[in-house]
Structures are given as C-alpha cells and as structure tokens.
Amino acid sequence: MNNGLFVLVACLPIVVISGCSSLGERPGMLDITSEPTGAEVYIMNARVGVTPLILEQGKVFPIVYPREKHPLYGTVEVRKVGCATQRLRVGTQEIAKGVHARLECNEVEPSIVPSDYQPKLPESTAIQQSGKTVEKASPFFEMRFRRVIELREKGLITKQEASEIRDRILDEL
C-alpha cells in the first residue's frame, strides 16, 4: 500500500503539469493574429474586432446559436481589403497556440468599380504627393488617391503602405 501511495505522489506533479500545458497563456481566451495586421475578424458572420485580438473561446464555441449558422461553429473568418478571406477551423492546437492567418494580398487595392463607371470629379487638379506635383491628373488617378486617403483614415492601411501606394500611382502618371 505504501509503495502504491509513493508512486501516486511521485507521478501526480507530472500529470498535473502536463495537463495544464495545453491551456495556453490565457485559459478560456483565444489569441487571433494575422499577417498583415489590421484584418477584420468575424465569428458566426458577426464582426468582433481587428487583429491582433484576444477573444473568449465562448464566442467561437457558443452554447446557443441559430441552426443556420451551424457550418460557422468553431470557425474564425479573417478579412482585409485587398486580401483573400481566410476561414480557419479552431481546434485544440489553435486554442493552445492561437490562430494566425497569413493573408494573400494584392500589391494594390483592387478596384471594385465597374469598367464603364465615369467618376464625377474635376478634370484638372494639381496633386502634391511625396514631393512630386502632378498637373492635370485624370479623374481615374484622383479616384485612386482618394481611395488611398480613405483607407488610411479608416486605419485599414498604415502610413507607410499609403505612401508606397501613392508613389506607385505617381509613377504611373
């Protein structure tokens, strides 16, 4: 009997430590990151935040949810303008280590404007960007500049990314 008790006491710390290792740094929480950062995170088709993000596991695995959302149970959807959307299944490994989405992005924001669209912008304007002045920019280029400014103001792209995109647009003029 003493021998069995000794084995139990000796093995107990090993069992307890190994059982806790899969809980991650924050039990009950899920870390969600993306490359590039600043991507929107959706759970059950509802926006819950922007990466990097820490969520309660209960949001990904709710106890009660509509029947039509069953295919979305246990998944995280990561979206960013100009990048392919990723839907990731969350399992025990992701709970322990976190969810990381590597988004495949285009270099320049794709246009969502129909090809026959004619913007109602002034035909000639001087644009000052990155130390270059361009006279008589076409409405198409103005629309692209405005889109970059809009994305920057919304925080969807960094100041550095906005500067690089503006430089590429100016090089095309």
**pLDDT tens per residue, range 63-102:** 888 889 889 999 999 999 989 999 999 988 888 888 999 9
Average confidence score pLDDT of the chain: 74
Clarify whether residues 77 and 113 are in a common domain: no
The residue out of 102, 129, 145 marking a domain boundary is 102
Domain range enclosing 90: 2-102
Clarify whether residues 83 and 45 are in a common domain: yes
Clarify whether residues 86 and 170 are in a common domain: no
Clarify whether residues 115 and 98 are in a common domain: no
Whole-angstrom Cα distance, residue 40 to residue 51? Answer: 6
**Domain count within the chain:** 2
Q: Which of 4-18, 48-62, 144-158 has the lowest mean pLDDT?
A: 4-18
pLDDT digits (tens, 9 = 90+) for 19-36: 444 445 567 788 999 999
Half-sphere exposure of 116 (CA within 13 A, CB side): 0
Look-up of token digits 């069995």: 4
Clarify whether residues 74 and 145 are in a common domain: no
**pTM score, whole prediction:** 0.49
156 phi, psi to nearest 5 deg: -80, -20
Q: What percent of the chain has pLDDT over 70?
A: 64
pLDDT for residue 153 is more than 90: no
Clarify whether residues 120 and 63 are in a common domain: no
pLDDT for residue 155 is more than 60: yes
Clarify whether residues 81 and 154 are in a common domain: no
Whole-angstrom Cα distance, residue 27 to residue 63? Answer: 18
pLDDT for residue 122 is more than 50: no
